[in-house]
């Protein structure tokens, strides 16, 4: 197991493995997102309170989940880089940040678009919305920190430290709707008892969530390959890879 992990973590191996995985992941992403959209917009029934307007849930909720999931992945990769000095982990963390920031932005925008007709406000400063906005600022800070420091290794360390500090925000986002009075409603799917969403709506939602996860996997590997190639451009394997 350990030797296998070390093999994966060597840049040329990772580069080749990621290259082989990307096309499959891309095809699966397309299929799942298409199925989720058709199921969510076409087959899923309208909500008893919100009518067709609730269908934005199929983009809003998976985006919000991804914004937190990618942050945790990025923080773990950062920790691995800090502790074991694995270059591939740093490359993955760096490649994750812009994707995570995009999903956070998407969650905030779709939330605003949903909030205006249903709540009557684009934005309110309740704990859920505010903590998600802080997450966006964390992502932007990490991206800025990376590009502000010339030396790749130092930039990676600094970004890893900041992303580890910011991890404290993830449980705050999740539990904000239980700890404080918020305008945002409580959790629907992740409640310990049965989810408060009808199965005909839950299935497309979960399909979309899986599609979004694979979209992240596809794009993060693509970005990581590019970054790895540019970082290792002096080494023989990179020259060979860029020629072929």
Partner 1 sequence: MKSGKKRLALVGVILLGVGAAAALAFTAFRQNMLYFFSPTQVSAGEAPIGHTFRLGGLVETGSLKRHADGLTVDFAITDTAHRVPVTYSGVLPDLFREGQGTVALGKLGPDGRFAADEVLAKHDENYMPPEVADALKTAGAGPAAVTGRTGRLP
Residues forming the site for partner 1 (CB under 8 A): 45-50, 54, 57, 117-121, 124-127, 130-131, 134, 137-138, 141, 145, 148-149, 151, 154, 158, 161-162, 165-166, 169, 172, 180-183, 185-188, 191, 193-194, 196-198, 200-201
Least Å distance, CB 186 to partner 1, is 5
Q: Report whether 173 contacts 152 (CB < 8 A).
A: no
Q: Closer to partner 1 at the Cβ: 24 or 180? A: 180
Q: Closer to partner 1 at the Cβ: 11 or 115? A: 115
3-state secondary structure of 47: strand
Q: CA 16, 76, 36 angle in degrees (round to 5)?
A: 70
Instruction: Report the residue count for the chain.
Output: 244
Q: CA 44, 110, 43 angle in degrees (round to 5)?
A: 10
Q: Closer to partner 1 at the Cβ: 132 or 232? A: 132
- The Cα 18–Cα 62 span in angstroms is 24
Least Å distance, CB 223 to partner 1, is 23
Integer angstrom CA distances of residue 27 from 31, 119, 217 = 6, 38, 12
Q: Report whether 140 contacts 101 (CB < 8 A).
A: yes
Q: Closer to partner 1 at the Cβ: 18 or 61? A: 61
Q: Closer to partner 1 at the Cβ: 3 or 194? A: 194
Least Å distance, CB 167 to partner 1, is 12
Least Å distance, CB 91 to partner 1, is 20
Least Å distance, CB 49 to partner 1, is 6
- The Cα 108–Cα 128 span in angstroms is 11
Query: If you ran DSSP here, which 8-state letter would residue 52 be given?
Result: G
Query: If you ran DSSP here, which 8-state letter would residue 186 be given?
Result: -
Cα-Cα-Cα-Cα dihedral of 80, 70, 207, 127, to 10°? 130
Q: Closer to partner 1 at the Cβ: 16 or 198? A: 198
Q: Closer to partner 1 at the Cβ: 82 or 172? A: 172
Least Å distance, CB 98 to partner 1, is 17
Least Å distance, CB 44 to partner 1, is 8
């Amino acid at each position: 197991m350990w030797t296998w992990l070390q093999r994966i973590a060597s840049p040329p191996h990772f580069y080749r493995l990621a290259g082989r995985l990307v096309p499959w992941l891309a095809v699966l992403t397309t299929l799942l997102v298409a199925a989720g959209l058709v199921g969510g917009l076409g087959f899923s029934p309208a909500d008893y309170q919100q009518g067709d307007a609730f269908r934005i849930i199929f983009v809003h909720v998976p985006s919000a989940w991804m914004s937190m999931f990618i942050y945790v992945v990025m923080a773990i990769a950062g920790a691995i880089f800090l502790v074991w000095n694995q270059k591939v982990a740093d490359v993955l963390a760096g490649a994750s940040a812009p994707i995570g920031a995009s999903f956070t932005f998407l969650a905030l925008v779709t939330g605003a678009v949903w909030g205006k007709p249903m709540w009557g406000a684009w934005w309110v400063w309740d704990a859920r919305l505010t903590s998600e906005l802080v997450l966006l600022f964390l992502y932007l800070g990490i991206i800025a920190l990376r590009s502000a420091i010339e030396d790749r290794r130092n930039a990676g360390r600094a970004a890893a430290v900041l992303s580890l500090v910011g991890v404290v925000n993830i449980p705050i986002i999740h539990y904000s709707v239980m700890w404080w009075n918020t305008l945002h409603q409580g959790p629907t799917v992740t409640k310990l008892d049965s989810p408060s969403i009808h199965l005909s709506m839950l299935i497309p939602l979960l399909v979309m969530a899986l599609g979004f996860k694979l979209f992240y996997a596809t794009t993060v590997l693509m970005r990581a390959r590019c970054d790895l190639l540019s970082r290792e451009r002096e080494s023989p394997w990179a020259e060979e890879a860029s020629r072929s």
